[in-house]
Amino acid sequence: MINQIIKIVKLLGFKNAVRMKKHHEQGLAYVRGFTAGYCWWALLNEGILDKLEQESLFNWSGYLDSYPGDREVLEAIVEYLAGVGLLERQGARLQLSEQGKVLMAEPRGLLELLWAYEPCFANLGALLRGEKKYGREVTRRITFVGSGSGRLCEQLPYPVMRRMVQGLGVKMVLDLGCGDMAFLTGLCQQDDSIRCLGIDNDAEMIAYDQKLLGENDYSGRLLAQQADMFNLPALRADLPPVDCITACDTFHEYLQNPDQLIEFFQRLKQRFAGVRFVIGEFCLQDAAWLKKHKTATLEHHLFHQLSGQQIGSAQTWRGIFQKASLEIIEEQVYDIIGHGYFALK
Ligand SMILES: C[S@@+](CC[C@H](N)C(=O)[O-])C[C@H]1O[C@@H](n2cnc3c(N)ncnc32)[C@H](O)[C@@H]1O
């Protein structure tokens, strides 16, 4: 090996050879991120990574023998992920490496969210050339929006919002754009006197929720219904009056028309007398700060821009609430993650 290195250095010159190697390594970071990401998603979506997480001494040979899909493709993916250090193979055993375990922890939601918006990237050329339009030929994968967002929000947004809800002493929560209901599920777990109804306008999302409710509906205290929040139907007659309306990361999808949101909030206030609101929303981060810190917000902004969504500043939200005659009871804005929480009446 050393002789080959000497030969290359003689041929290219030391400085040139070192520069080329460094540049390749820098480029490889992007190539590897893309390749490993796709391979990771393939195993994640097949449930193989969950299996590995649960059974660290997984009988890999036995699994391969009975794998119903293309065994060669599976082996190629596993070999690659082991090569880049996310999996470890030891004889018949396959397990997550320490780095792989990390990816299955906090960043999992981010990876799921990226998978939700992956069709935007797979079709980026066509979107760029105007041959396809988001919402027409290209759409996000809604159940991954729900699970990715739910998983990420469990790390800070939901604990903050649940504390706000509990501080208000409310008993019947209506969650708008409930996604995978993770926010409401946690509320039902924490408080056995609370009842919750989640609505979402996406049929696929609600079908996913109904499946989850089939496993546990917290003795009937947790419900999900398909509905457009702007055309909210009559709610089930056996439900107590809604005294709290919540929404996490739902309203920014309509920020291109703030008047629609203002009028909507006013209508909700009229329909549900004395109702309190607990709202979590993205709050635009300072561009100079973001350039310096380069957090996942950069990718997150891109997903939103490609899918026609806008991010408003905390001040934008305050302005909308004020115009809707909603008074801020409590506010917590975390510039570091670009998220804010508002309890309102
Ligand atoms: C970004 S996701 C947030 C999901 C969830 N609240 C969370 O915290 O993870 C926004 C959700 O709002 C739903 N949504 C968008 N417009 C809606 C509408 N007009 N009525 C009801 N749900 C809506 C979407 O289907 C999606 O599930």
- Is the CB of residue 50 below 6 angstroms from any atom belonging to ligand 1? no
> Are 86 and 162 contained in the same domain?
no
Measuring CA to CA, which residue among 278, 251, 265, 252 is closest to residue 324?
265
- Cα 9 to the chain's mean position, in Å? 47
Average pLDDT (172-177) is 98
- Is residue 1 predicted with pLDDT exceeding 90? no
- pLDDT tens digit sequence for 198-252: 999 999 999 999 999 999 999 999 999 999 999 999 999 999 999 999 999 999 9
Please check the confidence at residue 266 and state whether its pLDDT lies above 80: yes
With cut-offs at 50, 70 and 90, classify the pLDDT of residue 286.
confident
Give the pLDDT confidence score for residue 61 in this predicted structure: 87
- Do 238 and 319 belong to one domain? yes
| pLDDT at 57 exceeding the cut of 80 | no
Residue 58 has pLDDT above 80, yes or no: no
Nearest atom of ligand 1 to the alpha carbon of 175: 6
The whole-number pLDDT of residue 116 equals 97
- pLDDT tens figures, 83-136: 999 999 988 889 999 999 999 999 999 999 999 999 999 999 999 999 999 999
Domain encompassing residue 271: 143-344
Tens-place pLDDT, residues 292-319? 999 999 999 999 999 999 899 999 999 9
C-alpha of residue 145 to centroid of ligand 1, in Å: 9
Q: Is 177 in the pocket of ligand 1 (CB under 6 A)?
A: yes
The number of the ligand 1 atom at minimal distance from the alpha carbon of 280 is 8
Question: In angstroms, what is the span from residue 229 Cα to ligand 1's centroid?
Answer: 9
Domains in the chain, number: 2
Structural contact between residues 249 and 300, judged by C-beta atoms closer than 8 angstroms: no
CB 138 within 8 A of CB 119: yes
For the cut 90, the answer to whether the pLDDT of residue 159 exceeds it is: yes
pLDDT in tens, 33-54: 999 999 999 999 999 999 999 9
So what's the pLDDT on residue 131?
98
- Pair 199, 176: CB distance under 8 Å: yes
Q: Which CATH number goes with the domain that contains 292?
A: 3.40.50.150
DSSP β-bridge partners for residue 339: 282, 334
Nearest partner of 318 among 306, 331, 335, judged by Cα: 331
**CATH number reported for the structural domain that contains residue 55 in this entry:** 1.10.10.10
Residues 84 and 159 in one domain: no
Residue 77 pLDDT more than 80?
yes
Integer Cα distance of 12 and 305 in angstroms: 44
156 and 72 fall within a common domain: no
> What's the 42 CA to ligand 1 centre distance in angstroms?
25
Residue 132 lies in a domain: no
Q: Which residues contact 103 (CB under 8 A, 6 or more apart)?
A: 40, 86, 111
Of 105, 133, 162, which one is at a domain's C-terminal end? 105
Q: Looking at residue 338, what is its pLDDT?
A: 92
One domain for residues 213 and 304: yes
Q: Write down which residue in 105, 127, 162 finishes a domain.
A: 105
Q: Are residues 202 and 323 in the same domain?
A: yes
Do 150 and 260 have their domain in common? yes
Q: What letter represents residue 230's amino acid?
A: F
Give the number of other Cβ atoms within 10 Å of residue 330's Cβ.
Answer: 14
Taking 80 as the threshold, does the pLDDT of residue 182 lie above it? Answer: yes
* Entry pTM: 0.89
What is the pLDDT, as a whole number, of residue 287?
A: 85
Task: Answer yes or no: is the C-beta of 338 below 6 A from any ligand 1 atom.
Answer: no
324 and 237 fall within a common domain: yes
- 17 shares its domain with 70: yes
Measured in Å, residue 109 CA sits from the centre of ligand 1 at 16
Q: What is the mean pLDDT of residues 144-150?
A: 93
